Structure 1
Amino acid sequence: MIIVAGMNIEIPPFQLSSKQAEIFHFLKNSSEVHRYVHSRELLFELILRENMINSAIEMNESEVEFSIFHTSKFNSMYWLKTSRGYILKPNVLPSDAIKDIFHNGKEYGFECTTAIVVIFYYAVLQSIEERAFNRLFNHLLVWDWSYDEDLGIITRVGSDFIPGDVMYFYNPDYDNPVWIGENVVFLGEGKYFGHGIGIGTAEETIKALNTLRKEGATRSAHLIHQHSRLNYKYLSQFSTQI
């Protein structure tokens, strides 16, 4: 259900792209109540969710490799490797460093959780004013679930998934610990993107993870009931698109 300024919204109050319309449909039919002070907040969430989906597709089409931390790599023009992850070099704009991951993918290698955080940043960068992005995220540290508090990732239990959400396929009988599971972006239309596996349905993602189980494994990989989302209402104040 969508509530804007106390009123139930059944029809979008603005023109939407086909993907935004799909997201609106999911929000409208959700068992959760999605509340907005103004329709601009709703539009911003639709824009940012669409940018999440497009960023995941762009990551899939990039030349970024799948890699554990020991063999990982980031472009040394922008990033410095530390024991905790990769930090921005002095005098580097966060926007330039995040863009480079997608534009110069062959210089990068990381695992699926880092890919998700990078996708979050890239989607936000495309959704808010660039100066605001550089002000909010001027001390970037990237690896695993390390992220700036202004990104506002919220993880909750539940199975009411909306396109643009991040979800998790758990692989209990993994062989290599790197394949204990796969963080994915829900793209809508029954498709998911996971770095190292690619784009596919839930069944295809589970099938891929099941090939990475230990010998004699009896438990299948499966989707768990949780989702991660950005703090859309907080980030909407920095948008210049609405």
Structure 2
Amino acid sequence: MITIAGKLITDAELNTIPLSLKRRAVLSSIATNQTMYFFPSMEDLLFEVKVRANTTQASHDLAVSGVGFADFDHSTCNQALWTLTREGGFLLKPSITPQRGIDDIFNNGRLYSFECAVAIIIIFYKATLDSIGATAFNQLFRGLYLFSWRYDEDLHLISHSGSEFLPGDCVYFNNPDFNPATPEWRGENTIVMDYDLYFGHGIGISPGADIIKSLNEERFPGARQSAYLENRITHPEYRYLG
């Protein structure tokens, strides 16, 4: 359900808004959830819809880009654009614009490998770039550094509890009985693509049951507790980006 400036918006009003099929699907998800979503203006609502749609598109594009999966000790990047730090992060070189650095990951994916949390940050940056344009993006994200859940403060990631997920949300599949020999499978950060469809770097675009099955195969011998989807949602604070 959606309210704008304190007014509940009807389905008839939403249906008059011209949108692409991908953005229409995001808007429909917001409108049909039982959670009440509050927006100061129609522009704020449509901007969030755009970023969320671009987040699912960036997830798909990363899935087919050729990037590899690796832990921090074995991360790789295009070192013509990025400096690979000792901890396995990517620091953008001063002569390279943030827009060029992010786009290169999608255009030259074979040169890159990283773990799932880095993938989520890259997706959020790409969705933001495609939503606000190169000029604004380059101004906001100077000195770009990609490493786990460290991110430029202007991205304003926020987390909250919830079980009604929207396309573009990041949600986490926890694997409490993961095998200590493969700690990278202690869980999987994913982007919600659609109802019960998620993108996880290293797993691909899959239903939740398939992600849980993949994680369960990475538990220690004799493990009894199944992997599960947490009721925790992370996404950018869209009003700051707009």
TM-score (norm 2): 0.94
Separation (CA, whole Å) in 1 of partners of 2:35 and 2:156: 19
Per the alignment, residue 39 of structure 1 pairs with 42
Aligned pairs for 1:1-242 within 5 A: 1-11=1-11, 12=14, 13-84=16-87, 85-175=89-179, 176-236=182-242
Report if aligned partners of 2:4, 2:41 keep a CA contact under 8 Å in 1: yes
Which residue type is aligned with residue 231 of structure 1? E
| Cα offset, 1:83, TM superposition | 3.1
Aligned residues: 236
Structure-1 separation of matches of 2:31 and 2:10: 7
Question: How much does 1:214 deviate?
Answer: 1.1
In structure 1, runs of 5+ residues without a counterpart are: 237-242
How far does the alpha carbon of each residue in 1:118-145 deviate from its partner, in whole angstroms, 9 at most, with x for none? 0000000000031110010011110110
Residue 60 of structure 1 aligns with an amino acid whose one-letter code is A
- Mapped to 2, the partners of 1:10 and 1:99 lie a distance apart of 38
Structure 1 Cα separation of the partners of residues 90 and 63 of structure 2: 21
Cα distance between partner residues in 1 of 2:10 and 2:203: 37
Distance in 2 between residues matched to 1:18 and 1:135, nearest whole Å = 31
Moved more, 197-206 or 16-25: 16-25
Q: Percent identity?
A: 41
Structure 2: runs of 5+ lacking an equivalent:
none
- The CA distance in 1 between the partners of 2:195 and 2:163, in whole Å, is 16
Q: Give the Å deviation of 1:60.
A: 0.6
Counterpart secondary structure, 1:127:
helix
Kept in 1: contact 2:94–2:143 (CA 8 A)? no
**1:240 aligned partner:** none
**Displacement over 2 Å in runs of 4+:** 29-33
Q: 1:193 aligns to what SS in structure 2?
A: strand
Q: Deviation digits for residues 187-226 of structure 1, max 9, x if unmatched?
A: 0142100000111100011111111111111111100010
Asked if 1 retains the 8 angstrom alpha-carbon contact of 2:212 and 2:226, the reply is: yes
* Cα distance in 1 between the residues matched to 2:53 and 2:133: 17
